[in-house]
Structure 1
Amino acid sequence: MSYDVEIVRQGLNALFDLKGKPAAIQSWAGDVLPTWPERPNSRSGQDAVELYHIGRNHWIARAALDQEVKLGEHLRPTDCPADISIVQVSDTLTFFRVTGPHADEVMSIACPLDFHETEFSEDAVTYSELFSLKALVMRCKGGFEFAVEQSFGDMVEDYLSRATA
């Protein structure tokens, strides 16, 4: 079956892995981060930065690559206090965007999540499996976005091509 989707492999993003209590991270980062997501496995955004709540006291901050230096200057990963961890991970993930009328069907081939809006809301973000690989999965306008470890990017691109052929 042929699927009506557009699949785009995106360029690098500015990514920072944040661990620690929210108050400690907020105190350190100041107002550079958006408001904290309201619940686990959700996201928030402000200006050019998104914040993903991916685990207990664990978040990922994401921005366009051209914001990496500015964000890094505010977060100061190498100088942060011992009660928090901030690690720049920009080169570790490759993001893909799957959009179009059949985006949910293609994602259902690749990933075991239930993508119905009642189960995977607009602000949902979570780690799951995608073609048996660990992937960060979320909704985007018109479909879904996901990220896999950079070294698997070519393989996932091939799998998506085969799944939609």
Structure 2
Amino acid sequence: MPSLAKVLWQHVQARVEVGLLGLGYARQLGDPERAALLEVELLDHVSTALDLAGEPERAESSSRQALATLLALDGPHVVQEARVRANLAVVLSNLDRNAESQGEIEDALSQLEAVCYERALVSLNAGRLEDSCSTTRSRSSDSCECRSRPWAIVQTRKICTIERPEPA
């Protein structure tokens, strides 16, 4: 196994192990919603591991099970749903590498970025972040920067990041 693939595999394996511990703990505490969310996350990691191992059919099954579990929960879990859908799109693309699949991946990842940015703005509007957005438009880019302590939300050309500012 090439070194990068080995590192990726170890990372996914570690996340699966941590997910199993968290799932067991949530079940032991009797928190069914938290356990279900951890199960979704675990299934998503298992799907990635199976995909890396060259088993896209089993990876697809795991991704679909994660999505079904998530959709059965009460309440909106938009970020998790977007992440699971993006992973499912990648798995499906590995089964069928055509232009339509690549378009589905781009759509799913764009949706995930939009959800990330929308959630950050909801936090901003809820008073968790203090400063307001200033929007700049030019021919080369559209951007929105929201700076406050201790977070910064920066969006440029559909790329959303939430970062900590450098210590003064």
Give the TM-score normalised by structure 2. 0.24
Give the TM-score normalised by structure 1. 0.24
Structure whose alpha-carbon radius of gyration is higher: 2
Whose strand proportion is higher, 1 or 2?
1
Whose helix proportion is higher, 1 or 2?
2
Greater relative CO, 1 or 2 (CA 8 Å, sep 6+): 1
